[in-house]
Amino acid sequence: MAGPRVRGSNRAVDDVMRWRKLIGAGLLCAVLGAALTACSLVKLKQESAVFFASTVLVGRIDCPADWKGHVVVMAYAMADGRARVAHQATLHECGSYELIVPQGDYRLSAFGDANGNGVFDAGEPAGAYAASAAVTAPGTGIVAALDFAITRNPARPALPPAVGAGDARSPRHSTQIGALADLDATRFSTASGQQGYWAPVEFFRHHGGNVYFLEPYDPDKIPILFVHGAAGSPQDWRYAFDHIDRTRYQPWFFQYPSGASLDSMAYLLYWKLFNLQLRYRFDTLAIAAHSMGGLVVRRFLADFGAQFPQIKLFVSLSTPWAGEASAEVGVQHSPAVVPSWIDMQPDGRFLQALFGRPLPGHTTYYLFFGHKGGYSMLRPNHDGTVTLASQLRHAAQAEAKMVFGFDEDHVGILRSPQVMRQLALVTDSLLQARAGAPPPGQLVVNFGFDGSVETPRPWPTLLLYPVRDDAPPPSAPQASLVVALTADDTGRRVAPIPPGLYDAALVAPSFHTEPATQRVRVAAGADAALHFHLAPQGALSGYVGAELGAGDNPAGSYRPPHASVAIREITLVGAGVRRSLVPRRDGADDLVWRYLHGRDDAYRAQFSFVGLPAGEYELSIVADGHAPHRSRHAVVPGRQPPLRPITLQPLR
């Protein structure tokens, strides 16, 4: 991050110099010492405070069929009749977006930027979320499913004139998945990587976080996703980009603000790969991650990897699996704290839970480590940055197919011919597996929507439940394969599907599907067809979020359902309807199956009401040890409400 040292910060600098002498040659000491000339601790403290008081808004933009240009999307707040843009992003094509905003109420709008000036001009297509209804950002986590469309002739003004030229801090480059990157661009430089470490919110507003391509997508080449580490940048991988076989592989890279919490970046990686899979339908993916990037990738794989059977290979290089002791010292004693330091503490919540779930069975893992560092009385064997004990944490070794050590330091491991040769050997196994695999089955999924459905159309999800020949439909099955689709996937092949007999279902939020299920046999190398019809229905689904400590649900992080809350009753009243549920606590989590068959249900912390008339509703939840919860919700058939967890207040 560029800029002069803030006046009046000498005392803070003196404090850090004393702290550096205390902790010796630790990782944070070295990085902090290098950054003091460019970034004040005052600024760092402000950045950290903003990060822990912000929310990431997530959704997608649909466009007219004939629109092929850039799209600008923004979140703004109204005050005294004027709009104040909190964050604005540019997409090179319609699709997914992410915006980071402080706590508050925001309106969301977008427009097609025909002339590339970043300003809404007359005649450009435009649109707004839910008729410009305000979206509440709680100052933590994520608010998702904020989908809307831009049209040639919007029914109402999409943007107030006061928006003007938008947010001057906003990027003009695309933050949409798969944007082509010039690796020499400033935003991918070492200096940019350092900004992402010391000023993650500022970085995200300027650059976003994204998976970029170095060449147009080629379905005949296997993608390898490269993930940088702390204070790193995509340019760290230049040697790998230059030395992989580009006739057989295509390099992608994930750029993200490495000073942000690792939970947040793991979810961002999920959101990006989810949309990439919808867009390109790749059947194989390898991931190589350096240093702290390995922690981000493993958290993503543990939480969401089951949804990506395409991820066949994960290679970590010099990853601090057991954290860094200096991170704990930094959190306890530094006058300003980088958010990712909190996750790097050896005894912290993140690292203690990191191996709580195994890697998905379809992903093969290799551990690469370096040992060209040294030893001193203050620091055990290391690679110049990360200790060997941390790189070789037993839990990481136990799940690795192979462990490879190299006489390289922490940075040099990315420029080592020997390391690249070994990486080529393990990635070539993907080609061999692809060539020797039996032909998969193919499904052609045909579905149509009721003619009254407005844009944006929903994202259906195909569920396949394996059954035996001539077996009756199961009462509460579990899907073995889940395939996300777009509204444009009707009539297209969905592959690969393992051969077998399935009960197939298609589910979409706030829609009713006919038939609920249908039986289909998938044969190797052959096509099978499915036919569904989706009609809008009123529905309200949600969950009670886990109780987390202060700072444990920062901007962009996923908050899971509460694991142990004892909910006595969930009641929904409105539009002439009164319904109550007592959550099931044992048995199968078959909420989706019951939704498909038109049944209200609640399982532990999750609930779903279906078949509701349009209108305003009051939701109330009574749970042991918590104050009663009441909230208002608008139900519109065919429109998914925003996704965010419900917070229950514990009784003191």
Residues 6+ apart with CB under 8 A from 432: none
Q: Residue 516, exposed/middle/buried by CB under 10 A (0-12, 13-18, 19+)?
A: middle
**pLDDT tens by residue, 23-63:** 333 444 444 444 444 446 778 889 999 999 999 999 999 99
CATH of the domain at 422: 3.40.50.1820
CA angle 35, 39, 45 (to 5 degrees): 110
DSSP string, 593-620: HHHHTT--EEETTEEEEEEEPSEEEEEE
> How far is C-alpha 5 from the chain's CA centre?
34
Q: What is the pLDDT, as a whole number, of residue 473?
A: 62
Distance CA 411, CA 231 (A): 12
One-letter identity of residue 58: V
Q: What are the distances in angstroms from CA 106 to CA 56, 63, 155, 307, 585?
A: 12, 22, 20, 31, 37
End position of a domain, from candidates 492, 511, 536: 536
- Encode burial over 610-640: b for 16+ CB neighbours within 10 A, e otherwise: bebeeeebebebbbeebeebeeebebbbbbb
Residue with token string 């979810």: 267
Domain-located, residue 31 = no
Pairing of strands 70-79, 104-113: antiparallel
Same domain for 317 and 240, yes or no, is yes
Distance CA 419, CA 411 (A): 12
Domain-located, residue 641 = no
Q: What is the pLDDT, as a whole number, of residue 645?
A: 95
Is it true that the peptide bond before 456 is cis, omega within 30 degrees of 0?
A: yes
End position of a domain, from candidates 406, 430, 454: 430
Q: What is the pLDDT, as a whole number, of residue 13?
A: 38
- Cβ–Cβ < 8 Å for 324, 348: no
Q: What is the pLDDT, as a whole number, of residue 25?
A: 34
Domain-located, residue 426 = yes
Same domain for 426 and 348, yes or no, is yes
Same domain for 246 and 333, yes or no, is yes
One-letter identity of residue 401: K
136 membership: H or E segment, kind and range: strand 135-137
Same domain for 387 and 281, yes or no, is yes
- Cβ–Cβ < 8 Å for 607, 581: yes
Q: Residue 51, exposed/middle/buried by CB under 10 A (0-12, 13-18, 19+)?
A: buried
Q: What is the pLDDT, as a whole number, of residue 18?
A: 39
CATH of the domain at 473: 2.60.40.10
Distance CA 177, CA 278 (A): 11
Q: Residue 412, exposed/middle/buried by CB under 10 A (0-12, 13-18, 19+)?
A: middle
Q: What is the pLDDT, as a whole number, of residue 20?
A: 36
CATH of the domain at 126: 2.60.40.1120
Same domain for 331 and 212, yes or no, is yes
Q: Is 288 in a helix, a strand, or coil?
A: strand
Same domain for 525 and 550, yes or no, is no
Residues of the domain holding 285: 186-430
| Total of domains in the chain | 4
Q: What is the pLDDT, as a whole number, of residue 170?
A: 53
CA angle 625, 626, 631 (to 5 degrees): 160
Domain-located, residue 23 = no
Dihedral, CA atoms, 37, 42, 44, 47, nearest 10 degrees? -140
- Encode burial over 290-301: b for 16+ CB neighbours within 10 A, e otherwise: bbbbbbbbbbbb
Residues 6+ apart with CB under 8 A from 516: 505, 596, 597, 598
Residue with token string 């650059």: 207
CATH of the domain at 553: 2.60.40
Q: What is the pLDDT, as a whole number, of residue 121?
A: 83
Same domain for 106 and 150, yes or no, is yes
End position of a domain, from candidates 411, 430, 449: 430
Domain-located, residue 41 = no
Pairing of strands 441-449, 527-536: parallel
Distance CA 649, CA 640 (A): 26
Residue ranges in the chain whose pLDDT is less than 50: 1-39, 162, 164-169, 377
Domain-located, residue 142 = yes
In the beta sheet, which residues pair with residue 610? 539
What order of strands is seen across the sheet that includes strand 492-497?
492-497, 441-449, 527-536, 511-514
- Cβ–Cβ < 8 Å for 464, 481: yes
Distance CA 520, CA 504 (A): 7
Longest dimension (CA), the chain: 79
- Encode burial over 348-362: b for 16+ CB neighbours within 10 A, e otherwise: bebbeebbeeebbee
One-letter identity of residue 252: W
Same domain for 199 and 337, yes or no, is yes
Q: What sign has the CA pseudo-torsion 444, 450, 451, 455?
A: negative
Domain-located, residue 225 = yes
Same domain for 385 and 284, yes or no, is yes
Same domain for 203 and 311, yes or no, is yes
Same domain for 374 and 523, yes or no, is no
Domain-located, residue 614 = yes
Same domain for 389 and 325, yes or no, is yes
